[in-house]
Amino acid sequence: MALKIYNSLTRQKEVFRPLNPPYVGMYVCGPTVSGESHLGHARPYITFDIVYRYLTHLGFKVRYVRNITDAGHFEEEGRQAEDKISKKAILEKVEPMELVHKYTSLFHWAMRQFNTIEPNIEPTATGHIVEQIQMIEQILEAGYGYEVNGSVYFDVNKYAASHNYGELSGRVVEDLLETTRVLEGQDEKRNKADFALWKAAPPQHIMRWKSPWGEGFPGWHIECSAMATKYLGPRFDIHGGGMDLLFPHHESEIAQSTICNHVSPVKYWIHNNIITINGKKMGKSYNNVIKLTEMFSGNHPLLSQGFHPMTIRFFILQTHYRSTLDFSNEALLAAEKGLRRLWEAYESLQNLSPDPADGPGDPDLELKINGLLSALDGFMEDDFNTAKVLANFFEVIPTINAIKDLVLPASILSSQTLLRMKEVFHEYLENILGLQSLTAEEGKLGEVLELLVSIRKEAKAKKDFVTSDRIRNELSRIGIDMKDEKNGQMSWRMH
């Protein structure tokens, strides 16, 4: 078997063959840090975290680049934009870098909560104005851009004459030229399909840089072309992002990079699907977003409680990344229970000891378990099918629980299979899927609970159920469940 990836460019699954093995270059469109991240933003970063983790698992040396879009026309919610052009004290004005810093920090915090691995390089748009200007100059020299009133536009019509504009998104240039939409600055463009490479900044615009065309700011697509080229070269392996970026963002990125570097920039385009809520896309313009801080705290009318970041990660991984995922409070509750069951079984598994006699185990069960485990690699190699991976783990769980509860004897599994289970669970759940326990580390509280466990065991041994129930009930009241296990042990968990 070999890893197969669905390539948006060819609209089919292709065997993954890096340009320069074992090295892999991967660029993922990062967040625009003009506001707080919401649930919809979580999907691509968790999706590509899986891609990164799995490629690493396969032995590839991945350079993962994810940008921060911090250039543009930013205003903070609730603060008045008018102040920007007044002569008031500078501290009263909305300072773009202040917003950018605030929301970048919040984004990084959320990514840590989700246990995503940091990119190797996280370039910012504002840190690469020089590179962007150079790229625009190249496009002008090549004759594919034109300047109007201090703004520079990309000539899509000319590009389309010799290149395939629309190869990624399936757009037809003739159709694009016929759009009836009236957009700002449209009159400066030669054709409606053209897009801005550089925009002249109106006087009140506070994010502005000097350029050969006057003061202004970069267009919407050029940053990714410039930064991807700088860190991954003219042609690299993987470019990822949300499906909603396919057009015009990625289509335009291809055009820009192709003119500058004389080669199509990306071998495999990967796009994750969106998250919907009541069947509609969750997005700023729909006014239906749930911010990540609200998801975690439960402070939102649609949420009955806060949800652990791992619950959200698990929720996302239960669906294939190219399918839409419909959010609901009920679905999150189901995911939480599922993850809890999965994780408790995983912990139980690590505590199982092999049968001292170490027999061959039950042949049917051995075959079944090993079959389920062996199938996992194939699922991941089939375009990262995490949903199927998780389903197989759930099929192994009854066996683990049955052995733990002494319903089945330990001898039903060979020590070899048990060891393999432990290894595969660990590698997949923690390293490839990046899941973690829902409960925090306990520290001294854990030792206190162990004391209560021993007291309760003594009480039960003496049939002193008043004391044993009191311990369990009082702990339950403060949010800790203590359970009697079949093997005479007691377990507890916080919720």
Partner RNA sequence: GGUCCUGUGGCCGAGUGGUUAGGCAGAGCUCUGCAAAAGCUUCCACAGCGGUUCGAAUCCGCUCGGGACCUCCA
Contacts of 111 (CB under 8 A, 6+ apart): 45, 118
Q: Nearer Cβ to RNA, position 18 or 31?
A: 31
Q: Site for RNA (CB under 7 A): which residue of 304, 394, 440, 474?
A: 394
By CB under 7 A, tell whether 227 contacts RNA.
no
Does 102 engage in binding with RNA (CB under 7 A)?
no
Q: Which is nearer to RNA, 76 or 244 (CB)?
A: 244
Q: How is residue 182 written in tokens?
A: 């009236």
Q: How far apart are CA 405 and CA 407, in angstroms?
A: 5
Q: According to the 3-state scheme, what is the secondary structure of 16-74?
A: CCCCECCEEEEEECCCECCCCCEHHHHHHHHHHHHHHHHHHHCCCEEEEEECEECCCCC
Map residues 161-180 to x or -, x wherever contact with RNA holds by CB under 7 A.
Answer: --------xxxx--xx--x-
Kindly state whether residue 478 participates in binding RNA, applying the rule CB under 7 A: no
Q: Which of 9, 226, 259, 335 binds RNA (CB under 7 A)?
A: 335
Confirm or reject binding of residue 212 to RNA (CB under 7 A).
Answer: no
- Least separation in angstroms between CB 32 and RNA: 4
The residue with tokens 């975290």 is 49
Residue among 233 and 248 whose Cβ is closer to RNA: 248
> Is 296 in contact with 307 (CB distance < 8 Å)?
yes
Q: How far is the CB of 358 from RNA (least distance, A)?
A: 23
31 binds RNA (CB under 7 A): yes
- Nearest distance, CB of residue 340 and RNA, angstroms: 8
43 lies in the site for RNA, by CB under 7 A: yes
Interacting span for RNA (CB under 7 A) from 77-85, 116-124, 138-146, 275-283: 275-283
Closest alpha carbon to 449 in 405, 484, 493? 493
Q: Is residue 472 a contact point for RNA (CB under 7 A)?
A: yes
Which CB atom, from 87 or from 463, has the smaller least distance to RNA? 463
452 binds RNA per the rule CB under 7 A? no
Q: Rounded to the nearest whole angstrom, what is the least distance from the CB of residue 282 to RNA in the complex?
A: 4
SS3 content of the chain, % helix, strand, coil (to 5): 50, 15, 35
Helix (H) or strand (E) holding 134: helix 129-141
Query: Site for RNA (CB under 7 A): which residue of 162, 285, 353, 487?
Result: 285
Tell me: does residue 483 bind RNA (CB under 7 A): yes
- The answer to whether 220 contacts RNA (rule: CB under 7 A) is yes
Q: Does 108 bind RNA (CB under 7 A)?
A: no
How crowded is the C-beta side of 132, counted as CA atoms within 13 Å?
Answer: 27
Is 286 a binding residue for RNA by CB under 7 A? The answer is: yes
Select the residue interacting with RNA from 303, 333, 375, 475 (CB under 7 A).
333
C-beta closer to RNA: residue 245 or 259: 245
Nearest distance in Å: CB 418, RNA: 17
Between CA 278 and CA 283, with CA 280 as vertex, the angle to 5 degrees is 115
Helices (H) and strands (E) in the chain, counts: 15, 15
Q: How far is the CB of 376 from RNA (least distance, A)?
A: 13
Contacts of 117 (CB under 8 A, 6+ apart): 49, 52, 53, 64, 434
In the chain, what is the straight-line distance between the N-terminal and C-terminal CA atoms, in Å? 42
Let me know: does 412 contact 406? Beta carbons within 8 Å: no
Q: Does 143 bind RNA (CB under 7 A)?
A: no
- Residue from 119, 216, 242, 354 binding RNA (CB under 7 A): 242
Nearer to RNA, 18 or 36 (CB): 36
Q: How far apart are CA 351 and CA 410, in angstroms?
A: 12
Residues 411-450 that bind RNA (CB under 7 A): none
Cα separation, 448 vs 475, whole angstroms: 12
Q: Which of residues 61-100 bind RNA (CB under 7 A)?
A: 69
Tokens 């019509």 belong to residue = 157
Q: Minimum Å distance from CB 20 to RNA? A: 27
Out of 116, 272, 311, 414, the only residue in the binding site for RNA (CB under 7 A) is: 272
Q: Report the site for RNA in 296-315 (rule: CB under 7 A).
A: none
What are the C-alpha distances in Å from 163 to residues 155, 158, 386?
Answer: 12, 9, 37
